[in-house]
Structure 1
Amino acid sequence: MRFSQFLNARSMSPVEDRALIKNLEAHATLAARNGFSAIFLPDHHFNGYMPIASDSYMFAAWLAAKLPEMHFGFSVTSTPLHHPVRFVERINILDQLTDGKILVGIGSGTTPEEMIGFGVNYTEASKVAEENLAIADRLWAKEMDDPAVEFDTGHYKGRVLQRIAPAPYSRRPRLMPVAMKEASARRAAENGWPAFIPAFTPPQIGGTEPLKHVTRYFTTYRDMLLAAGHPEATVADALSWTTHTYQCVHLAESDEQARAELETILRAYQDAVEREAAFNRRAESDTANTKTDRTPDALSEDWIATWCLYGSPDTVAEHLRPYAELGIGNILCGTTTGPLTDERLRLANQTVRLLGEKVIPRFAEQRVAVPA
């Protein structure tokens, strides 16, 4: 089972932005030295949310030059916010720069504030996402002398006469849908791509039985993948990157220390979320931009059980054992959750070192089993 790092830190003011960028660069380097396989980056905009996330492809390219052995993932790219031509161009060049070591998570977005900043209504996000992905497929398939790819969705328009340059390093860059809807799971399975496996079922975004949800979504995706008729190597690669995400991972020498420090982290995180929620309420001023789901308070047991992984190295390893036995190939660890103060960075580095020294080695020799 692989372990990947999710750089999901927040900045609370403009004067903090530069320090956050430099600290995340150093933190990613620490993860690379401690056995992590990939760095995943979010895609978020405005409100001081995550400064590196306003152009996570650019930040990934910067890190890739420094960490050439690492894979780079995106959790997740909000496809309605990206012009489909630029979406394909940027994926292709990053695919070249990393020798094919990218995994592009795709989704329709989560916040109305981000949508209205790009001129997209929140209630139309899923439709725009599907339109953009269909256009991207046509652009990846287009050769120089093929007829022009023309599109006009009402949100994006264009006419591509030649081809997208550069071509991707891979025959087709790996996208990673969220396997919550049958159509998304099938898209991943039929293309031989990995998928994100949810630990909850909307409209409830939380709960105390995450493994139950992970098992259901993973089994559906895996069965579709096996039924698609891919070569064994394709199936094994897809399963090895199939990802279960923890928004907040925190390790300490004892369970008691880990829980106390986790609650400190989550209090600061919840304060940041409530500030962001105030701006989203402004965006939700009309029916086209109203959310239908609400995330539980981060200090609630529902949120902690679904989104947090914490404890001593022994406790964390035992918690992860059923996920490894199920066949989850990649654990995505949010090690910088919340505002990135000096103390928060110290705790994040503590977590990475303990994972690298005492948890990751226990799973390093396990391989994803491909059922006959």
Structure 2
Amino acid sequence: MRFSVFLNARSMRPEDDRQLMHDLETHAILARDRGFSAIFMPDHHFNGYMPLASDSFIFAAYLAAKMPEIHFGFSVVSVPLHHPVRFVERINLLDQITDGKLLVGVGSGTTPEEMIGFGVNYKDAGTVSERNLELAEQLWAKGMEDPAIEIDNGPHQGRVLQRIAPAAYTPGHARLMPVAMKESSARRAATHGWPAFIPAFTPPNIGGTEPFIHVKKYFDAYRAMLDEAGHDAPTIASALDWTTHTYQAVHVAETDEQARDELMVILRSYQDAIEREAEFNARAESDDANRKTDRTPNALTDDWIGTWCLYGSPETVIEHLKPYQALGIGNILCGTVTGPLTEERLRLGNQTLDLLSRKVMPAFGGGRA
């Protein structure tokens, strides 16, 4: 089982943005040195979620030049916010830069605030996303002399006459990683032989004390579709190797008691940031076209912690993860810098990297492969 790092820290003030980017670069290099398999980044805008997330393609290219031996991923790209031409061009360029070590998580986005900044109504996000992915496949397949591709999808317009340059490094194109919560997304991943996020992000019901039930449900559905697609054994093995379960907050300490105490400090700061952002999300929901039907749950509740957190001593973390390995999850994505990134938060994140690499990862087959 692989372990990867999710750079999901927040900046609370403009004057903190630059230091945060430098700190996350240092944290990513430490993860590389400790044997983690990949660095994943989010794709978010406006809300202070993370300065580098406003264009994580650029930050990934910057890190890839420093760390050519590891994989890079996105968790996840909000597809409706990207013109399909730019989406395909950037993925192809990163696919070339990384020699194919690229994993592009795709989803329809999370907040109305982000959607309205790009001229997309929140209620249309799913439809725009599906059409953008269809257009992307057409653009990846287009040759120089093929008929023009007409783009008419909400705010995204255009007419492509030639081919996309550069060409992809990976045959066809880089691997996409759908979030396997909807049947259509799981089937997209399975049909193409791609890995998937299982389930990733907010499930229909917070898992609470039994989150494994949710993970197994979505994994089993995806795994059955993967078998039904008729792939050869190497394709299935490659897909499962990167099929990912995400923990928004991972914290490891020498004892369970220390880990819980430090986790609560981290989550209180994280919840403060969430509450600050709620005001702006409310402003975005000024009409029915941009009103969400679900609410971000409180991160200080036992249900949220049970669903989205992995914490404890190395021994406790190992026991927690054994059923996921047995299920067939190939990659554990660890949010090691969740919340506002202070000097103390970075220290705790580095502590987690150290203990995971020395005491947890060896129990699951070692580090990077």
TM-score (norm 1): 0.97
Deviates more, 1:101-110 or 1:145-154: 145-154
Work out the number of aligned pairs and report it: 367
Stretches of structure 1 that go unaligned for 5 or more consecutive residues are 367-372
Alpha-carbon displacement from aligned partner over 1:310-365 (angstroms, at most 9, x marks no partner): 00000001100000000000000000000000000000000000001100111016
1:327 aligns with 2:320: no
1:309 aligns with 2:310: yes
Q: How far off is 1:309 after superposition?
A: 0.2
Tell me the distance in 2 between the aligned counterparts of 1:201 and 1:262: 20
Q: Which residue of 1 aligns with 2:240?
A: 239
Tell me the distance in 2 between the aligned counterparts of 1:70 and 1:146: 36
Alpha-carbon displacement from aligned partner over 1:220-256 (angstroms, at most 9, x marks no partner): 1011111111121111010000000000000000000
Q: Which residue of 2 aligns with 1:193?
A: 194
Stretches of structure 2 that go unaligned for 5 or more consecutive residues are none
Quick check: 1:178–1:197 contact (8 Å CA) kept in 2? yes
Q: Which residue of 2 aligns with 1:249?
A: 250
Q: Which residue of 2 aligns with 1:40?
A: 40
Quick check: 2:207–2:214 contact (8 Å CA) kept in 1? no
Question: Any idea what SS the aligned residue of 1:40 has?
Answer: strand
Identity over aligned residues, as a percent?
72
Q: Which residue of 2 aligns with 1:211?
A: 212
Amino acid at match of 1:286: D
Q: How far off is 1:203 after superposition?
A: 3.9
Question: Any idea what SS the aligned residue of 1:347 has?
Answer: helix
TM-score (norm 2): 0.97
Q: Which residue of 1 aligns with 2:162?
A: 162
1:181 aligns with 2:186: no
Q: How far off is 1:204 after superposition?
A: 2.8
Tell me the distance in 1 between the aligned counterparts of 2:279 and 2:341: 21
Q: How far off is 1:277 after superposition?
A: 0.8
Tell me the distance in 2 between the aligned counterparts of 1:200 and 1:349: 24
Alpha-carbon displacement from aligned partner over 1:274-333 (angstroms, at most 9, x marks no partner): 001111000011111111111221010010000000000000011000000000000000
Tell me the distance in 1 between the aligned counterparts of 2:218 and 2:203: 13
Amino acid at match of 1:196: F
Q: Which residue of 2 aligns with 1:12?
A: 12
Q: How far off is 1:200 after superposition?
A: 7.9
Quick check: 1:200–1:207 contact (8 Å CA) kept in 2? no
Tell me the distance in 1 between the aligned counterparts of 2:278 and 2:180: 26
Alpha-carbon displacement from aligned partner over 1:164-207 (angstroms, at most 9, x marks no partner): 00001001210000000111100000000000001687543453
Structure 1 residues 63, 365: CA separation in 2 closer, same or farther (over 3 Å shift)? closer
Q: Which residue of 1 aligns with 2:283?
A: 282
Summarize the alignment of residues 1-372 of structure 1 with structure 2, pairs less than 5 Å apart.
1-171=1-171, 172-198=173-199, 202-364=203-365
Question: Any idea what SS the aligned residue of 2:214 has?
Answer: helix
Amino acid at match of 2:147: P
Quick check: 2:207–2:213 contact (8 Å CA) kept in 1? no
What value does the CA root-mean-square deviation take over the aligned residues? 1.4
Amino acid at match of 1:302: D
